[in-house]
Each structure stands twice: as structure tokens, then as C-alpha cells.
A and B are shown apart, each in its own frame.
Chain A
Amino acid sequence: MMYGELGGSRTRRTVTGMARVLGALRLDGMLLSGLIVVSLFGLFVLWSAAGDNTSLWFNQLARIGIGFTLLIALSQVPDHFLRMLSPAVYLLGLVLLIVVALVGDVGKGAQRWLDLGLIRFQPSEIMKLAVPMMCAWYLYQRPLPPSIRDVGVVILIVILPVVLIAEQPDLGTALLVAASGMIVLVLGGLSPAYLLGGVAVLGAAVPLVWRFLMHDYQRQRVLTLLDPQSDALGAGYHIIQSQIAIGSGGIFGKGWMNGSQAQLEFLPERSTDFIFAVIGEELGLLGLFALLIGYLFIVGRGMYMAMQCRDAFARLLAGSIALTFFVYTFVNAGMVMGLLPVVGVPLPLVSYGGTSFVTLMAGFGILMSLHSSRKLVG
């Protein structure tokens, strides 16, 4: 009795104390919890996927630290400030992309990196946030639903960086950037007629894209998806091995650190793009479900927060950030499970790879800033 009362009051004090701290930092407790849980889950899996390479794991730990710091920092920025900066950030990103196209470093056969001496980074990562910001900024100033002219402008805003990124070539990022912009347009009230028309145009454009825009290896990836066995040791190897990993995991998995596909190096890119297969193999269907529930929670909370935002800029940008996060998940999981062609998209919050994690955290920082700005006027 005494103990219960004491414990209860202490718990209540702790919770209210936490809430006060979060409020002061303009952070959303639920979203932050979701992000932390999924990130810890990612670290747990990465320990197994990294194998003997523990330095890789500590690198990721450091990046998670950087990511959360950036999240807290960005959530302090007032939303109107973000809105004001949008065109500048977008233009800066565009310039950097052009610079990369001219003088960038080549890594893994693609020209993506910009070496600034201290840090090397991919300007395309900036675009993941700059494009939806720019789209939301533009539509914020227009009455919604957008007119056909506005739609044209937004498409132009999206298409310029997407083409530059696709040319690097980095189809995965280009796809995500395009998605983030288009989501803004759809959320902004793009009429269903345009939407259907757009899909039709895209469908018609597929043969042209196939013929003129896609690289040989990209075409190969699509062909491989349709028939992985056609090249089991070449392009189909990734898909076949990742499906073997997931399928052999069963409902309960082979146990953490016990996935033979992953631990014996049959699974390529096991700590980066194919880490989803490691989860499927070692933690089974239950592990995959748990992760998906975590993702859905983050997306759901993000959408809920977007609905509460006070103006169109905040709503559109917040919604785009939340939904783009799910697109990441779908593209990666779909690729690893053999539903989509192999494109280099990491599994959000889990895959090893610094830039991706940091960019995601920046996005959620912005989302929290947009959400908490509402309270200041309310």
C-alpha cells in the first residue's frame, strides 16, 4: 500500500517531469519514442549483421547520436524560419547537384559524393528534404487545390533535381525525391483527374524511360526481378539469396546471430541495403511484423501531427516527411522480398549508412518543429 502509493507518485512525477522537458525542447514524446525504439532495434540487428566488424556498429551508434542531436536542433527552429529558408535550401541543393555532376567523386560506379575536405556528403540527401520544402513553400502561397499552372510549376521543381540525381546515377534516391515532391502535390489537393492522368502519362513514358533514360544495369535489375533464376550468380544473386534468407527464417527465425545466410556471407550487403533479410532470417516473421508495426506507428503519428499543423506549408511538409518515410520502407522491403527491382534504398533507421539516418532524423526534427509551432499561437 505504502509502497504502491509511493511508487505511483514517483512514476507520475517522472512522467510529468519528462513531459515538461519534452515540451520545453519542442519534442513530440510519442514520435521520439517510436524513433528510439526502431533505432535500438536497428542497432540490435546490426550487431549481428556486422559480424566481426564491430567498428561498423560503433560508427552507426555515433551517427545515431548525430542524428538525434540534429533532430533536437532542427525542432528548435521556428516553422516560419524553415519556410523562409526553403527556396534558399532548394537552390543551394540544386547548385551542389550540378557541381557534383561536374566534379564529384565516384563511388561504386556512381558520381554522388561531394568532398568538402572535412566531410564528404551526397547533395542528393539535401534534396530529400529541400524538394518537399520547396513544393510546400510554393503551394503555401497559392490557393488550394492547385491550378494546372501550379501543378506544372511543382512538377518542374521536382523534375530538375530528380533528373540530376538519376543521372549520377542513383535511381533509388531520385525515386524517393520524386515521391516526396509528388506527395506534397497530392496532399495539397491535386484533383483525382490529374492524378489518374499523371499515372497514365507515366505509364506511357515507361517505354521511353526504359529506352532512353535507364542505364543498362538498371534495365538488368528490372529484368532480373521478373526472373531471378535467369542469372542466379549475377544480377539475380541478391534477390535469390535474400529470399532464401527470409524464407528459411520461418515464423520465429533462426535466432539472433544464427542466420546462416547472413553469418556465412551468402547474403550480400547484409548490413546496408539487405539488412531487412537479416531480420527476416534471424528474427523470423515475428521480427518483421514487429519492425513494420514500429514503422507504421511512426508514420501514423507523423500523419496525426501533420493534421494538427497550423498552416498549409506545415501540413504539406509534415505529411510529406511522414509518408516519404513509409515509401522508403516499402521500396526497401519490397526490393528485399522480391516485389520491386533492386534499387539502392536503405531500410530507414536500421541500415548501416550515415547520411541516410541523419537525413531522416533531420526530417523528423523539422516535423516536430512544424508541429510544436502550432502551440505557440494556439
Chain B
Amino acid sequence: MRRVRIKDDALEQRMFLQRSLFATGIVAIVAVLLCGRAFWLQVVQHAHYVELSQGNRARIEPLPPNRGVIYDRAGRVIAENTPAYQLEIVREQAGDLEVALGRLARFGLLDPGEISRVRQLVQSRRSFEAVPFLLQLDDEEVARYAVHRHELPGVLLETRMARHYPYGPIGAHALGYVGTISEDDLPRIDRERYFGTGVIGKTGIERAYEQQLLGVGGYREVLVNAEGRPVKLLSDSDAQLQSREPQAGRELRLTIDIELQRVAEEAMAGRRGAVVAIDPSNGDVLVFASLPSFDPNGFARGITRSDYLALTENPDQPLFNRVIRGTYPPGSTIKPLMALAGLEYDVLKPTDTVYCPGHYSLPGSRHRFRDFKREGHGTMDMENAVMQSCDVYFYRLANTLGIDRIHDAMVRMGFGVPTGIDIAGERSGIMPSPAWKKTAFSGRENQVWFPGETVIVGIGQGYWTATILQLASATALLAKRGQHYRPRLVRALVDPQTHVVEELTPKALPPIELKHAENWDIIINAMVAVTSGPRGTALRAGRGATYSIAGKTGTAQVFSVGQTEKYNEKDVAERLRDHALFIAFAPAEAPKLAIAVLVENGGFGSAAAAPIARAIFDKYLVKAPQ
């Protein structure tokens, strides 16, 4: 039976009430669920999400540290940081990029050949980023930009700190330079420390003291939006953004006297060569000159390719550090040391004489080792042999000593080993010996040491090569009668904040003690005679000096002269002429400065090299006595 249902409002209302309460219950449950979820996200997982949101919004912007300033020994600034101007372009502000680039080229702010490179560079970055495209603006370019600025929307003139060397090329080889970090630099650096810096010491002191000069970079967190664009919040008091101030690198006080260096370089002007002046009492290098020099500012501000090629393709090799990387036969400059070795090994007395007929032959050999003075010096005692630079005397002495004793003595005076100066790249030269020859040559027949090779070592020729720094260091040793210091370019480090000075102690090397200390005086007196004696080879350089100079000239052969040829300087092309050398220290009785000078293809040492040393002595000892 089918029952007809009619509406029962009371029933319906009751049922509605019941269902409503049921629904309200569900609402309550769902509300609790939502609250629970909010609690989970905002309380339980809060720290996790805070971290995620920090990562979202903050971008770290580096604050590069100021590189340490470098001073010379008198406190003159020789490397500093100055603002440099660069042009940057922001694509989204520049309007049509092609038009902007075209205008830049027309206003002479962009080389037309560079347009495609800059376009590529700009398009590879995000549209709101400022892309530097011209790094080194001179005053004229800055002025041109100022005139046309209104036509160049989105092109900005920005300053950054760049290394500046106020003395330019003077002392550049000692100082070195900074440059953009390259692929080659990456293995030797901790990349995090260079975040935002971009430049690194490439050579010289700038490289050797990189760790001290660099400083510690700072950073600043910048708010960015989802596109990575920096933004400012309306209320800018956000304490959660972190920053760290950069710490400037340490200042260096050098041993270089930049004005003395200037005197040396001006005396050398127009020549190729090297000059080193050392304070023998502590190894301080006051002059470190390699000529021709170059302007390190070019590297610091971003050198153009053509400028770089001009430097590398220059036949005079201005980038070549002749002081520590040039190795030359020391020539006659080592004769005082050779004489000292002879005395020390008791193979001769100062009064023993040798007759010089203008040539020397080994017993049983017809080969003639020629003296530079064809007619011969006549009878020579030690002082005369040094003063007049008699080759025959030293040929004979070398033969008597033998190569092994010569080698041992000269290695003790620093030949054949690096001096250990505090910049990199030093070469050790060659102090030859039979043992050395075995390793240096491959063919068995080339490995045999011949007695004739010993003979020419006696006058600083043959296989013997040395750097000018080694020569200067040996001269300092002689000046201090065996006391010996490692040459150095930096004498103190200064903290730029606290101004605390860390003096570096001079590094004393094991002194050379002679069996007969008076032998020093014999040798030094002979060297004084070189600049003051009746037939001294450097008489002209010593003339009129108010102090006594102990010196020795030298001439290093660039090519061999045949057995019977007469060497004629004028006939030989300039680059095949002999190198002129001179070593000296002064005042002889209380030495303050030891100098070694090399003039490439300068001819006789007395004429080309000695006056340069004299100019430095005059400046240092007379004009500014210490």
C-alpha cells in the first residue's frame, strides 16, 4: 500500500534543526582543522619558513675592501686607491638599445668595433641591471659624457675605487701591479675572499703581499623581489637585514726610497738595464730599477689590448724584470770575490805577482785566453790586478783554485741560489761546477768539465750567470765584511684602523767568517783603488767624491770574440755590444749603501755603469745624509 505523504511542518522544522546542528558541528570541525593547519605552519614550522622567506627576499651585495696603501721608506704614497670613472648601461632605461649604442659610438664613447661585443654583453644580463661597458674614462671622455648626458638615457657614469700609482713607471718592477682576476689566478686564491673585489696583485710586491693588502670584504643584504630586482619597502626599518663593513687591507712600508729610485732611473734613462741598491746593514733594497719600465696604472685600470700588445711586442721588453729575472755573466765584478777566495784558501798572498803578457795559456795547451788589454798589464800584485782588472792574473788564480773551490766559495756568497727576496719570480742564475754540468747537458760528451772552463770562470764568464740582485747582495756582504742579510722590499706592515705598526725584522743569513779577518781589508782597499788609484778602471766615477767608494767594473761578453780578432766596439751592432757592469759600496770605511748596476750593451762598465752608481751615492750620501 502506498501511503500518501503530506507536509508536516513541525516534523520538518525539527529535522531541519537536527541537520543544522549536524552541519554546525561539521563547520566547527573544519574550523578546528583550519586553525590546526595555521598553527602547524606558523608556530611549529615557523623557523623553517622564516629561513625560506629570508632566502627569497635578501640578496647579498658585496662591499669590496680598500686595498692596503703602499708607502716608500720615507712615507711617500706610492700605491693608493682613487676613484675611477666607468660607464654603465641599463637596458630597460636606455630605450632602443641600437639607438643608444649608435649614439655612444657617435659621441666617441664607444669604439664602433666594440658595438657588437657590448650589445651581446648587455643582452646577456637582466634588463634592469647596470652593465659596465667602458671601464677607464679619461677627463675628456667624462666631459663628453656630461655634454651628451641628456641624449643618453640609461647610460650612467659610476665611480669605483681603482689602484693608482702616483709615481707611474718609477719602481714599477718592484711594486708590480694589480689586474683583473684571470683564469690563471683562480687556483691560488680563495674565491670567497674576492667576492666583489675583481682585482688581484699580479706581479711584484702587489702579488707577494696580496694576502696582507687585500683586506676582508664586507657585504650588505639587499631586498629583492621575485624577479631579483632590488626594492625598498615602505617602512625601511628592517632590522633583519644583515651587513658587514669591509676591512681595509694592511698598509705596507717599503724599503724602497722612491726619490732615490727616481735618481737611478733618470740616470739610466734611455738605456736598458738594472740597478739595485741595498743597505748592507739590514738588506733593505732602496733602489730596485729595471729599465725600460712601464706604467702600472694601465694594468690597474684595465689595459686595452693594443696597449698590452705594444708592451709585449716592444723589443726592449719593458715588462721584463731585469733585476731578478735577467741573468747575466757577472764579468770582472767578481774579481774581488775571486781574490778573496784565493786568500782564504791560501793559494796566494796579496804581494805575490803575476806577469801579464796580454794572454794566458794552460800548461801544455796552445789555446790563448786573451786579456782585454792586448798588450798586457805587466807585473801585477793583487791590488793592481783588481784595480786594473787584469784578466791573466785571475785566469791563473782560477786555475790554481780549481772549479770546486771556486764553486763552494761563490755559492756561500749567494751565487747560483736565489737571494730569497720577498717577491716572487726570482731566478737563481748559474754557478757552474762539474756536477752542475752533468745535470745541465744531455750528451755524454757535453757533460765533461774542461780545465779551460775553469779559467774563464775566473773572470766571471763562461757558464756563470747571476742576477743583478745577487751581485748587489754579494756586494753588501763584502761591504759588511761577511755579515749578510736577505734582501727585502717591505720593512713594516701597518694596520689601517689601529695604526699598529708591525716591524719586520731583517733576516740575517749565516755570516762568512774568514780565517784571516784582515783579508777583507786587503780586498776592500783594492776596490777603493779602483775608483781612486792611479790606474783604477772607475777613476772617473770616483773623481770629486766627498766619500770613498769601493767599486769594481765589469764587462760581460754578449758574444765570443774569435781567437785572433781585435774586438772593436764600433763595428758591432748595438745589441751585440758587451753589457756594462759596476758594483760598489760607500763610504768604504763605514758602508751605507751597496750598489750593482747593469747597462745592457753599454760597453765598458767604467763608462756606462759607474756614473749611475755615483749619482745614487751622491743623492743618498751627500744630499740627504742619514
* Residues of chain A having any CB pair with chain B under 8 Å: 142-145, 147, 183, 186-189, 241, 243-251, 255, 257-258, 260-261, 263-266, 280, 284-285, 288-289, 292, 296, 299-300, 303, 306-307, 311-312, 315-316, 319, 323, 326, 329-330, 333-334, 337-339
Q: Is the interface of B mostly helix, strand, loop or mixed?
A: helix
CA distance A172 to B322 in the complex (A): 82
Known: A145-B15, A189-B15, A261-B56. A311 touches B42 (CB 8 A): no
CA distance A246 to B50 in the complex (A): 10
Say whether B563 faces chain A, with CB atoms less than 8 Å apart: no
The answer to whether A189 and B49 touch across the interface, beta carbons within 8 angstroms, is: no
Stretch of B139-147, B154-162, B225-233 lying at the A interface: B225-233
The 4 closest A-B pairs by CB, nearest first: A247-B49, A248-B53, A143-B5, A264-B225
CA distance A376 to B101 in the complex (A): 80
Q: Nearest CB to that of A264 among chain B residues?
A: B225
Contacts of B39 in A (CB 8 A): 285
Known: A248-B52, A250-B50, A303-B20. A312 touches B12 (CB 8 A): yes
**Partner pick for A319 among B20, B43, B227, B233, CB 8 A cutoff:** B20
The answer to whether B15 and A264 touch across the interface, beta carbons within 8 angstroms, is: no
CA distance A123 to B45 in the complex (A): 42
The answer to whether A260 and B15 touch across the interface, beta carbons within 8 angstroms, is: no
Q: Nearest CB to that of A145 among chain B residues?
A: B15
The answer to whether B31 and A296 touch across the interface, beta carbons within 8 angstroms, is: yes
Q: Nearest CB to that of B233 among chain A residues?
A: A263
CA distance A303 to B48 in the complex (A): 40
The winner among A241, A248, A280, A288 for most chain B CB atoms within 10 A is: A248
**Partner pick for A266 among B17, B33, B225, CB 8 A cutoff:** B225
Given A264-B224, A285-B39, A319-B19, list of 18 further CB < 8 A pairs? Answer: A143-B6, A183-B23, A186-B19, A243-B41, A244-B49, A247-B50, A247-B52, A258-B238, A260-B57, A263-B231, A264-B57, A284-B42, A289-B35, A300-B24, A307-B17, A312-B12, A315-B12, A316-B16
Q: Nearest CB to that of A147 among chain B residues?
A: B5
CA distance A251 to B49 in the complex (A): 13
* 7 examples of A-B residue contacts, CB within 8 angstroms: A143-B7, A261-B53, A263-B234, A264-B57, A285-B39, A303-B23, A323-B23
Q: Which residues, 71 to 126 on B, are CB-close (under 8 Å) to A?
A: none
Q: Nearest CB to that of B17 among chain A residues?
A: A307
The answer to whether B42 and A187 touch across the interface, beta carbons within 8 angstroms, is: no
Say whether B30 faces chain A, with CB atoms less than 8 Å apart: yes
Q: Which residues, 1 to 34 on B, are CB-close (under 8 Å) to A?
A: 5-9, 11-13, 15-17, 19-20, 23-24, 27, 30-31, 33-34
Q: Nearest CB to that of A187 among chain B residues?
A: B19
Contacts of B9 in A (CB 8 A): 311-312
Q: Looking at the assembled complex, report how far the CB atom of A376 sits from the nearest CB atom of chain B, in whole angstroms.
A: 17
Say whether B37 faces chain A, with CB atoms less than 8 Å apart: yes
Say whether B235 faces chain A, with CB atoms less than 8 Å apart: yes
Q: Looking at the assembled complex, report how far the CB atom of B225 sits from the nearest CB atom of chain A, in whole angstroms.
A: 4
Contacts of B48 in A (CB 8 A): 247
Contacts of B8 in A (CB 8 A): 143
CA distance A143 to B13 in the complex (A): 12
CA distance A245 to B57 in the complex (A): 11
Known: A186-B19, A248-B49, A285-B43. A337 touches B38 (CB 8 A): yes
Contacts of B27 in A (CB 8 A): 296, 299, 323, 326
Q: Nearest CB to that of B234 among chain A residues?
A: A257
The answer to whether A307 and B20 touch across the interface, beta carbons within 8 angstroms, is: yes
Known: A264-B56, A303-B24, A334-B34. A247 touches B41 (CB 8 A): yes
The answer to whether B41 and A264 touch across the interface, beta carbons within 8 angstroms, is: no
Q: Nearest CB to that of B19 among chain A residues?
A: A187
The answer to whether B37 and A330 touch across the interface, beta carbons within 8 angstroms, is: no
CA distance A255 to B38 in the complex (A): 17
Q: Mark B342-366, 1 if CB is under 8 A from A, else 0.
A: 0000000000000000000000000
The answer to whether B42 and A265 touch across the interface, beta carbons within 8 angstroms, is: no
Say whether B223 faces chain A, with CB atoms less than 8 Å apart: yes
Known: A183-B23, A261-B53, A264-B223. A280 touches B42 (CB 8 A): yes
Contacts of B191 in A (CB 8 A): none
Contacts of A316 in B (CB 8 A): 16
Contacts of A258 in B (CB 8 A): 233, 235, 238
CA distance A186 to B227 in the complex (A): 49
Say whether B437 faces chain A, with CB atoms less than 8 Å apart: no
**Partner pick for A260 among B30, B37, B56, CB 8 A cutoff:** B56
The answer to whether B23 and A187 touch across the interface, beta carbons within 8 angstroms, is: yes
The answer to whether A144 and B15 touch across the interface, beta carbons within 8 angstroms, is: yes
CA distance A247 to B53 in the complex (A): 9
The winner among A260, A289, A303 for most chain B CB atoms within 10 A is: A260
CA distance A187 to B20 in the complex (A): 7
CA distance A334 to B50 in the complex (A): 21
Q: Looking at the assembled complex, report how far the CB atom of B535 sits from the nearest CB atom of chain A, in whole angstroms.
A: 88
Say whether B46 faces chain A, with CB atoms less than 8 Å apart: yes
Q: Nearest CB to that of B6 among chain A residues?
A: A143
CA distance A247 to B218 in the complex (A): 31
Contacts of A244 in B (CB 8 A): 49, 52-53, 56
Known: A264-B56, A266-B57, A323-B23. A248 touches B38 (CB 8 A): no
Q: Looking at the assembled complex, report how far the CB atom of A304 sits from the nearest CB atom of chain B, in whole angstroms.
A: 9
Known: A260-B53, A263-B233. A144 touches B12 (CB 8 A): yes
